[in-house]
Chain A
């Protein structure tokens, strides 16, 4: 047989449970726009029944916990895809800045090579003309300048990326410190069997930001969360964080060190990897290709110029200052060796009216001067490689963005707050609360009746 006081306590329990549920709703509504927030769901359970004789009587409801709705596997996929996207984003934006130098039109190296040969071919009709000779020297100067500008721009971008690397490392350090601190708070709460979902949400946001910068693997264990880079360098272990450091190497670029070891080449994704890929692979390759082209073209034109005679009938010298034998730095140092237009070797027999050597100079246009290719073919190949890096990178980037958006959508469908849902829940919980309160009043009246029975 149940007692009126028993009924009263069921109603009071219900009041408490519904109030807790309304708390969850309130918190959800408050955090509707908080990034990374996972909505709370009250977990209501039926209390164990009591058996009185033939009757099994319910004992009401209790609020077990407020559960945070999140999918850790999905969170992991989002982190992975964020790393991928960070890398592609940094790579594409780096390559796009490089691409500007290879426009295939006005003023780039290819155009200047064509212009130089055109000016030479104009000299053929009047090989002794000083204005035409000067035009050839000017075109040669423009050609040298286009090499300088491109090489300088690439080097400048390399140092900008260097700065990016340093900044990224600083950001990583800040983030790992914060994550380690949250790790400590989370394990303290969890060890005391408390809900740490607020801190877990914050940590997920920070890990998301970290993933954008560098490749992170998360390992969950009893002692908390361990974060490492994909090659195993520890970033965070429990409530400890391990900072990365940058150090300039002999060639002046920043290398990344973790606990004394150089991990520069071992970072495989995140925007740091994208920046490093452009800085350490793409730009050096392009610079060395430009050097090969500048050295090949300079040497071939020098040989051709030396084969002829200048306007005064003397055997001619170099047209360009000879590029370094190794070719290294040839693009940034290419310089026209002569300022006196009469020193250009148009003549093949020493007489001033001869233009026989111009054909020799013009032949360089179709000579294999760099990597077995003519100057223009070689340049066109550079154009192709830069262009395809950008276009492939962009295609991968949009694919990655699409995947990430879909993953975020999935996360949203699980964890995001829907105001309609919260409103409906609020009404539901409020009604239940009202009803429980009504039960309390009714039981109170019943008690009054019982008390007044004797009088």
Chain B
């Protein structure tokens, strides 16, 4: 006797239909999101990795935003220092002129007056602000340099010696400012003092050479300090390149972990749809008749 088969295959067919329907749904979601991980259970280890990748991506974004927001400040500070250096050059030229013994008192007074103008210009430059923040005030928010006749150089520093750093990479902190006290009024290289001394020596017509040397010293010092901003801009450039690479790498990783293979998912979808139609057809063609229909 042959093996008796289950005369009621309907539950099996319905289960097969539900299964293939689920596969169609999964493939559709994967195609519409482009990702094969749409909930943690799709691939638990991959989902955990993906969470880490997203976190690193978000960090990378904030590093890049930080970099673009500090770049302007660096550029502004750099060009300000360039103007300071030009002004100091002019002061040196004026000092050398003033040291010429053929000049009359009134000629020297004219030179001294121009130097006073330069001093005012330097104060202005040292008070440069970028987007409302003084570039050379340390971490203070007050205007850093004010004219003060009580001070020996005629200028008082109102800021502080604080420096700020901004995180631009994992464990990578970039110093973003030099305090004015370090740049312009460092002991022995105080540019305001040197200009003031030059003006005084021109008025007295004595020690002009020494005063010019003092200005030159301040000029050399500021020029050396300016390197900081040039370096910072270079560092930012290379860090941006690094972050861009990292970003690319992260999206590559994300794609490797979660990216749906569109071509294969699409063909899977077609296969599943075909399977679904076939199952439906099978259910539809299940024998409608039995032996009873043929009995007469």
Q: Do chains A and B interact in one complex?
A: yes
Which residues, 42 to 90 on B, are CB-close (under 8 Å) to A?
A: 42-45, 47-52, 54-55, 58-59, 61-63, 65-66, 69-70, 73
CA–CA, A412 and B12, complex, Å: 11
Which residues, 99 to 138 on A, are CB-close (under 8 Å) to B?
A: 99-100, 102-105, 110-111, 113-115, 117-118, 121-122, 124-128
Listed stretches B165-173, B222-230, B274-282; interface member: B165-173
User: Interface 1/0s, chain A 173-213, versus B by CB < 8 A?
Assistant: 00000000000000000000000000000000000000000
CB of A117 within 8 A of CB of B59, answer yes
CA–CA, A115 and B290, complex, Å: 67
CA–CA, A130 and B174, complex, Å: 23
CA–CA, A102 and B40, complex, Å: 7
Question: Given that A125-B166, A352-B141, A353-B133 are known contacts, is A424 also in contact with B48, CB under 8 Å in the complex?
Answer: no
Instruction: For A379, list chain B residues within 8 Å (CB).
Output: 51
Minimum CB–CB distance from A354 to chain B (whole Å) comes to 4
Contact of A394 (CB < 8 Å), options: B41, B50, B65:
B41
Instruction: For A390, list chain B residues within 8 Å (CB).
Output: 39-41
CB of B290 within 8 A of CB of A353, answer no
Instruction: For A417, list chain B residues within 8 Å (CB).
Output: 7
CB of B160 within 8 A of CB of A351, answer yes
CA–CA, A412 and B176, complex, Å: 80
Contact of A414 (CB < 8 Å), options: B4, B141, B295:
B4
CA–CA, A164 and B62, complex, Å: 46
Instruction: For A419, list chain B residues within 8 Å (CB).
Output: 7, 290-292
Contact of A413 (CB < 8 Å), options: B5, B43, B292:
B5
CB of B139 within 8 A of CB of A347, answer yes
Question: Given that A384-B47, A424-B291 are known contacts, is A405 also in contact with B12, CB under 8 Å in the complex?
Answer: yes
Chain B CB within 10 A, most for which of A100, A389, A394, A409:
A409
Instruction: For B295, list chain A residues within 8 Å (CB).
Output: 423, 426-427
Question: Given that A99-B41, A424-B291 are known contacts, is A380 also in contact with B137, CB under 8 Å in the complex?
Answer: no
CB of A351 within 8 A of CB of B138, answer yes
Instruction: For B102, list chain A residues within 8 Å (CB).
Output: none
Judge if B3 is at the interface, Cβ distance under 8 Å: yes
Minimum CB–CB distance from A362 to chain B (whole Å) comes to 6
Judge if A420 is at the interface, Cβ distance under 8 Å: yes
Q: Closest residue to B35 on the A side, CB-wise?
A: A105
Minimum CB–CB distance from B14 to chain A (whole Å) comes to 10
Judge if B253 is at the interface, Cβ distance under 8 Å: no
CB of B5 within 8 A of CB of A353, answer no
Contact of B58 (CB < 8 Å), options: A114, A125, A410, A421:
A114
CA–CA, A121 and B45, complex, Å: 29
Instruction: For B40, list chain A residues within 8 Å (CB).
Output: 99, 102-104, 383-384, 386-387, 390
Minimum CB–CB distance from B143 to chain A (whole Å) comes to 12
Judge if B131 is at the interface, Cβ distance under 8 Å: yes
Contact of A351 (CB < 8 Å), options: B41, B54, B140, B167:
B140
Instruction: For A412, list chain B residues within 8 Å (CB).
Output: 6-8
Instruction: For B141, list chain A residues within 8 Å (CB).
Output: 128, 351-353
Q: Closest residue to B49 on the A side, CB-wise?
A: A380
Instruction: For B170, list chain A residues within 8 Å (CB).
Output: 366
CB of B55 within 8 A of CB of A359, answer no
CA–CA, A146 and B201, complex, Å: 70
Which residues, 1 to 31 on B, are CB-close (under 8 Å) to A?
A: 3-8, 11-12, 15, 19
Instruction: For B5, list chain A residues within 8 Å (CB).
Output: 413
CB of A125 within 8 A of CB of B69, answer yes
CB of B139 within 8 A of CB of A349, answer yes
CB of A126 within 8 A of CB of B65, answer no
Count B-side interface residues using an 8 Å CB cutoff.
56
CB of B133 within 8 A of CB of A124, answer no
Instruction: For A380, list chain B residues within 8 Å (CB).
Output: 48-49, 51-52
Instruction: For B173, list chain A residues within 8 Å (CB).
Output: 359
Judge if B117 is at the interface, Cβ distance under 8 Å: no
Instruction: For B11, list chain A residues within 8 Å (CB).
Output: 405, 408
Minimum CB–CB distance from B37 to chain A (whole Å) comes to 8
Judge if B244 is at the interface, Cβ distance under 8 Å: no
Question: Given that A99-B41, A353-B139 are known contacts, is A365 also in contact with B59, CB under 8 Å in the complex?
Answer: yes
CB of A349 within 8 A of CB of B6, answer no
CA–CA, A349 and B179, complex, Å: 14
Judge if A418 is at the interface, Cβ distance under 8 Å: yes
User: Interface 1/0s, chain A 284-296, versus B by CB < 8 A?
Assistant: 0000000000000
CA–CA, A398 and B3, complex, Å: 27
CA–CA, A385 and B15, complex, Å: 29
CA–CA, A381 and B66, complex, Å: 29
Judge if A377 is at the interface, Cβ distance under 8 Å: yes
Judge if B164 is at the interface, Cβ distance under 8 Å: yes
Judge if A299 is at the interface, Cβ distance under 8 Å: no
CA–CA, A385 and B138, complex, Å: 49
CA–CA, A137 and B56, complex, Å: 22
CB of B164 within 8 A of CB of A355, answer yes
User: Interface 1/0s, chain B 164-206, versus A by CB < 8 A?
Assistant: 1111001001001000000000000000000000000000000
Judge if B162 is at the interface, Cβ distance under 8 Å: yes
Q: Closest residue to B177 on the A side, CB-wise?
A: A353
CB of B290 within 8 A of CB of A423, answer yes
Judge if A9 is at the interface, Cβ distance under 8 Å: no
Q: Closest residue to A374 on the B side, CB-wise?
A: B55
Question: Given that A355-B166, A384-B45 are known contacts, is A122 also in contact with B3, CB under 8 Å in the complex?
Answer: no
CB of B66 within 8 A of CB of A125, answer yes
Judge if A225 is at the interface, Cβ distance under 8 Å: no
Minimum CB–CB distance from B9 to chain A (whole Å) comes to 8
Contact of B165 (CB < 8 Å), options: A102, A351, A355, A377:
A355
CB of B4 within 8 A of CB of A111, answer no
CB of A401 within 8 A of CB of B3, answer no
**Contacts A/B (CB < 8 Å), 5 sampled:** A383-B44, A386-B44, A387-B43, A405-B12, A413-B3
